Amino acid sequence: MELIDGKILANTIKDEIAAEVDQLKSAGSKVPHLAAVLVGEDPASQAYVRNKVKSCERVGFDSTLIRRPADTTQAELLEIVDQLNKDDNIDGFIVQLPLPDHIDEDEVTLAIDPKKDVDGFHPVNFGRMAQGLSCYIPATPFGILQMLRRLDIPTQGKEVVVIGRSNIVGTPISILLSRKAEIGNSTVTLCHSRTQNLKEHVLRADIIIAAIGRPNFVTADMVKEGAVIIDVGINRVDDASRKRGYRLVGDVDFEAVAPKSSFITPVPGGVGQLTVVALLLNTLKACKKEVYG
Ligand code: NAD
């Protein structure tokens, strides 16, 4: 069993990005600039956005954080999006989800200029991804692709089972791994809450990607000997022994599944680390106008 250390991989890629930024600077070119919009006080969202801003500093990007209170109106948020779309100094931006209940997330996502949509959530980017055209790939699936590529984990002809069909993880990674591509050409089964005989499907998998949001959902009896385990889930479980009263666990019963696996990602310290890096890679592409010219 090999533990996939997301932090080490992420640091390697951040070093590569930082080196590219240095080259841009010495050539007198513009440095990538990412903006993040955070509405409300959700603690997890605040932590994610802080991490994104810190990662920008680490690689030499410029970053702008726009914070607004939870009672910001739909119109006010759309105005901010419009300003960011028009601002030539900003290469890409994200609106941190989830948004407060009174805001229509779909309308906000649709308002973002696809050329600046470094989260890859806009249907234009999603459609381009599905057709194999150049696009911004959503950050978590892009991070998973980086992980598979850099660890030389073969995907060609492999049985992949994805559990969870969200628009940000399960559905895009299922599309990406079934595409005709170097990291792709897999036979993908997408399982979800209505799947029957889930265990039978998962037992066939050479690669399991769990994006469900339920602690310890994937148990050892569901896993084939030697499978690769990519655990996307981030779940809080009560833990009185911790100062903050909880700890983070994935969707996979790590202790029981790890001995059966060939590769496994820990939570924390696995996929999440690569998600942030993928956002940086998309912002670099935006700055270099690699996707839309
Ligand atoms: P989601 O919460 O939108 O949806 C959950 C999915 O799980 C649904 O598609 C549903 O069909 C499926 N599901 C629920 N119960 C099921 C069951 N009993 N059997 C089979 N499938 C079932 O999904 P999401 O937004 O992709 O989030 C999933 C998890 O991944 C969450 O824990 C989230 O915090 C985490 N996440 C982590 C990262 C990261 O960077 N590591 C990024 C995004 C999400």
The dihedral sign for the CA sequence 270, 272, 273, 278: positive
Task: Identify the band that residue 56 occupies on the pLDDT scale cut at 50, 70 and 90.
Answer: very high
The answer on 243 and 154 residing in a single domain is yes
The answer on 191 and 250 residing in a single domain is yes
By CB atoms closer than 10 A (0-12, 13-18, 19+), residue 142 is buried
Q: Is residue 287 part of a domain?
A: no
Structure confidence by residue, pLDDT tens digits, 121-152:
999 999 999 999 999 999 999 999 999 999 99
Closest atom, ligand 1, to C-alpha of 270: 41
Q: Which domain CATH number covers 53? A: 3.40.50.10860
Tell whether pTM > 0.95: yes
Q: Is residue 119 part of a domain?
A: no
**Which of 166, 190, 231 to probe ligand 1 with, by most ligand atoms within 8 A of CB?**
166
The dihedral sign for the CA sequence 274, 293, 176, 170: positive
Q: How many domains does the chain have?
A: 2
Amino acid at site 76: E
Amino acid at site 140: T
Is residue 145 within 8 Å of 136, Cβ to Cβ?
no
Q: Which domain holds residue 186?
A: 139-273
Angle between helix 170-178 and 123-130 (nearest 10): 30
Structure confidence by residue, pLDDT tens digits, 175-227:
999 999 999 999 999 999 999 999 999 999 999 999 999 999 999 999 999 99
Q: Is residue 187 part of a domain?
A: yes
Residue 89 C-alpha to ligand 1 middle, in angstroms? Answer: 35
The answer on 252 and 150 residing in a single domain is yes
Q: Is residue 49 part of a domain?
A: yes
Q: Which domain CATH number covers 155? A: 3.40.50.720
Q: Is residue 43 part of a domain?
A: yes
Task: Identify the band that residue 293 occupies on the pLDDT scale cut at 50, 70 and 90.
Answer: confident
Closest atom, ligand 1, to C-alpha of 274: 40
